[in-house]
Amino acid sequence: MTRAEMDALGWDSCDIILVTGDAYVDHPSFGMAVIGRMLESQGFRVGIISQPAWHQGDAAADAAFAELGAPNLFFGVTGGNMDSMINRYTADLRMRSDDAYTAGGQGGNRPDRCVIVYTQRCRQAFPKVPIVIGGIEASLRRIAQYDYWSDSVRRSILVDSGADILLYGNAERALCEVAHLLGSGRDIKAAGRLRGTTTIVNEAPKGFVEIDSTRIDWPNAIDKMPNPYHYDVDESECDRDRTQAVNADSEDIVKIIPMPLAIKTLSEQNISADTAYVRLPSFEKVRNDPVLYAHASRVLHQESNPHNARAIMQKHDGREVWVNPPPIPLTTEEMDGVFALPYQRRPHPSYGDAVIPAYDMIKTSVNIMRGCFGGCTFCSITEHEGRVIQSRSEQSVLDEIEKIRDQVPGFTGTISDLGGPTANMYHLNCNDDVIQANCRRLSCVYPTICKNLETDHKPTTQLYRKARALRGVKRILIASGLRYDLAVLDEEYVKELVTHHVGGYLKIAPEHSEDATLSKMMKPGMGSYDAFKKMFEKYTKQAKKKQYLIPYFIAAHPGSSDEDMMNLSLWLKRNDFRVDQVQTFYPSPMALATAMYHSGRNPLKKLMYKRGEKIFVAKNLEQRRLQKAFLRYHDEKNWAYLRASLIKMNRAELIGDGPNQLVPAEKSMNRRGSQSAGRRGATGAPNKKTGRKPSNKAVGGQWSSRSRK
């Protein structure tokens, strides 16, 4: 991290310099550490510039980017483990004062749109050095994307930043290939066809077939496909005015076929996915047409399976952004190799005793897998990590637990989590390689769990048992969010989890109670929740423990009306839940729900301009505040507002102290002149299901990819 460290190592220069918006923590839960150690294992000398000063014209900023000199091969730029905009602003666009990935937890140590700013400063410092961008901030902005903070559609971050190439997803494989390519003396343009990369090109490669999807297509509803492994197209609705290939015998001319026909005719024309690309509507078109934006978002998500995805091209101001298919998932052996690298498992010594909150939270946790096949529309994990689960071996996980025991200062014997994006998708994948190679279904578990999905939790159950038996380990907790619709299919797993691995509270995420909203989220109905709750209570009672479910819910999700939120609030009251963990929907880049938010349309179903499904979206602060207030019905601060809103909704019968009423009437008094029982309960009485006093602190905005499943 410093020139002095380079001198101590005898380096005259670095081969690669990584610039990150996070404090540098050498731990496998921090992307910068994984990338740095991976490149080091390939023989490269790696430097890291962490949270540099960035202000234009600032001498300290100029010095920060030149601290380690010019890298021999390239700069690698990332915003860090979190998107810099989500890190800095709440869902209500209020600026945060803290930053969990900064020493001391102090906010403001990174710029907004971190990747763009850092890339430009690297370019100014060393104009001729190639720049590679990656990480979640770049990954989710690889094409034109709706930007919540400016309420507009922005260009691909590759165009805005001026970088040479963008690597999306967990990019170990692509990054090593880029590094070796440049190390052999070749130009970075030679990396333009690598999987998991995005580049700017003048034209499509010769011999490719263009699948024209620049206008709205006519797909069937994703959630009602009779066969989830291909799409049936109503040819009577196809645009028959579109032209097909011109001069098909010439490899120098790109052949063009329309998107609706392409699905049926690609195989018939002997056209391989390896030589076909999908033409999205241009940046200028989707910027000005929200419905076309929703269409482009849908098409992008359909090209997410690495086994059959085609390249994507989108025009930006006369330039072409070329997105190669997603990277092939790492094998278990490769995953083990990544996690076996020589991490020090602590922050860099330059931070001294300063606390880095994110590190404190995960220093005794173990990531056992990557990816998610859940497909929740409000979440971007699939678009970043992929939908194919990549799992470590059992021995690799056990080895890491022992390293934590032996290396982490102050280890008390408790592993805080064995998880990842979800707690219980470890080694769960499609049981048929042929079907998986052809599947374009966005979720393996919605609207129903696919019959070809492996749902046996035995590998996870066995891992838990062996981890508990390790010397020096007193307790293994599960803190990652649980996919309970999968868990109920394996009662032995639920028993193991509830009996041994719940630290008093278990996080689950129903997200809503109303089917209309759940369908926009691609989340299961409350029947799955009820089934899991029954199992949870059964095994909690058998274990003679006091343990509670902590449900997470989202307010203001696209498609959620005020009446839906009112019904959710009534469900919470009937079940005596006074939730502290409340989230207002945050339109993160590239998520399908963000396309819903921007367009007011449902991209999971047929998109049409005049017809099609239009959905309600709570956009202004007043609407979002009301929906959040319904989740916090027990908070006295919300009562006056909820009373006024219920009257406006013609639901005044819900005002009062009755068991079926939502908020007490104004100045509700009992015979002794004190507040009514309902009011007492909302201002301090312990909740009988959680045993905790309700909190007036609502958690709004920030979500964790490790728990929001």
Confidence band for 267, pLDDT divided at 50, 70 and 90: low
Whether residue 355 lies inside any domain: the answer is: no
Weakest mean pLDDT among 427-436, 602-611, 662-671: 662-671
**Claim to verify: residue 185 and residue 213 sit in the same structural domain:** no
- Please indicate, yes or no, whether residues 536 and 684 belong to a single structural domain of this protein: yes
Pick from 153, 201, 205: which is nearest to 315 by CA?
201
Peptide bond into 447 cis (omega under 30): yes
CA distance linking residue 611 with residue 603, whole number of Å: 13
Supply the range of the domain harboring residue 547. Answer: 505-511+526-709
Please give the Cα distance from 564 to 513 (Å, whole number): 8
* 8-state DSSP, 555: E
pLDDT at 675: 44
pLDDT at 260 over 50: no
CATH number of the domain to which 15 belongs: 3.40.50.2300
Residue 272, pLDDT score? 74
Q: Tell me the CB-side half-sphere exposure of residue 613, using CA atoms within 13 A.
A: 18
**Are 396 and 426 members of one domain?**
yes
Whether the per-residue pLDDT at 127 is higher than 60: the answer is yes
pLDDT in tens, 53-74: 998 778 888 899 999 999 999 9
Residue 392's pLDDT band (boundaries 50, 70, 90)? very high
In a domain? residue 410: yes
The pair of structure tokens assigned to 343 is 């991490």
Band (pLDDT 50/70/90 cuts) for residue 611 is confident
Tell me if 670 is assigned to some domain: yes
Residues 190 and 213 placed together within one structural domain of the fold:
no
Query: Of 382 and 140, which is predicted with more confidence?
Result: 140
Distance separating alpha carbons of residues 598 and 592, to the nearest angstrom: 10
**What is the per-residue pLDDT for 240?**
30
Instruction: For 304-349, give the DSSP string.
Output: --TTT--EEEEEETTEEEEEPPPPPPPPHHHHHHHHTS----EE-G
Residue 329 lies inside a defined structural domain of this protein: no
Out of 275-284, 468-477, 572-581, least confident range: 572-581
Q: What is the reported pLDDT for 223?
A: 44
Q: Within this chain, do residues 99 and 168 fall inside the same structural domain, yes or no?
A: yes
Q: How confident is the model at residue 308 (pLDDT cuts 50, 70, 90)?
A: very high
Position 225 pLDDT exceeds 50: no
397, 452: one domain = yes
Residue ending a domain, among 271, 305, 323, is 323
91-102 average pLDDT score: 95
| pLDDT of 139 strictly over 90 | yes
Contact 476, 453 (CB under 8 A): no
Residues 258 and 242 sit within 8 Å (Cβ to Cβ): yes
For residue 582, name the pLDDT band (cuts at 50, 70, 90).
confident
The answer to whether the Cα torsion of 112, 113, 115, 121 is positive or negative is negative
- Per-residue pLDDT for 430 more than 60? yes
- Going by pLDDT thresholds of 50, 70 and 90, the confidence category of residue 327 is very high
SS (H, E, C) 346-378: EECHHHCCCCCHHHHHHCCEEECEECCCCCCCC
How confident is the prediction for the chain on average, in pLDDT? 87
Residue written as token pair 């692509």: 174
- Per the domain annotation, does 694 fall within a domain? yes
**Sorting pLDDT into bands at 50, 70 and 90, what band is 567?**
very high
- CA separation for the pair 64, 385 (Å, rounded): 31
Residue 349 forms part of a structural domain = no
Q: Is 346 part of a structural domain of the chain?
A: no
* Structure token digits, residue 640: 């006056």
What pLDDT is attached to residue 382?
84
In order of 247, 405, 479, the CA distances from 464 in angstroms are 61, 16, 13
pLDDT digits (tens, 9 = 90+) for 282-299: 999 999 999 999 999 999
CATH number at residue 465: 3.30.750.210
Same structural domain, 169 and 21 = yes
Q: Residue range 624-647: average pLDDT? A: 95
Quick one: 36 and 184 in the same domain? Answer: yes
Per-residue confidence band for 222, with pLDDT thresholds at 50, 70 and 90? very low
Are 159 and 10 within one domain? Answer: yes
Q: Which pLDDT tens digit goes with each residue over 484-498?
A: 999 999 999 999 999
The domain boundary, picked from 323, 352, 378, lies at 323
Provide the 3-class DSSP secondary structure of residue 290. Answer: helix
Q: How far apart are CA 620 and CA 524, in angstroms?
A: 28
Residues 88 and 156 in one domain: yes
**154 and 21 in a common domain:** yes
Q: What is the number of domains present in the chain?
A: 4
Whether 168 shows a pLDDT value over 60: the answer reads yes
Helix axes 172-183, 31-41, angle to 10 degrees: 40
| Span 642-698, pLDDT tens digits | 999 999 999 999 999 998 999 999 875 444 444 443 333 333 333 444 434 333 333
- 104 within a domain of the structure (yes/no): yes
Is 590 in the same domain as 698? yes
- DSSP secondary structure, 108-171, as one string: -SS-TTHHHHHHHHHHHH-TTS-EEEEHHHHHTTSS-EEETTTTEEEPPHHHHH--SEEE-SS-
Domain boundary among 295, 323, 351: 323
| Threshold 0.75, pTM exceeds | yes
Q: Average pLDDT of 401-424?
A: 95
For the chain, give the percent of residues with pLDDT over 70.
Answer: 86
Checking if the pLDDT of 91 tops 90, the result is yes
pLDDT, residue 536, reads 97
pLDDT tens profile 10-39: 999 999 999 999 999 999 999 999 999 999
Share of the chain above pLDDT 90, in %: 78
Contacts of 149 (CB under 8 A, 6+ apart): 85, 89, 93, 112
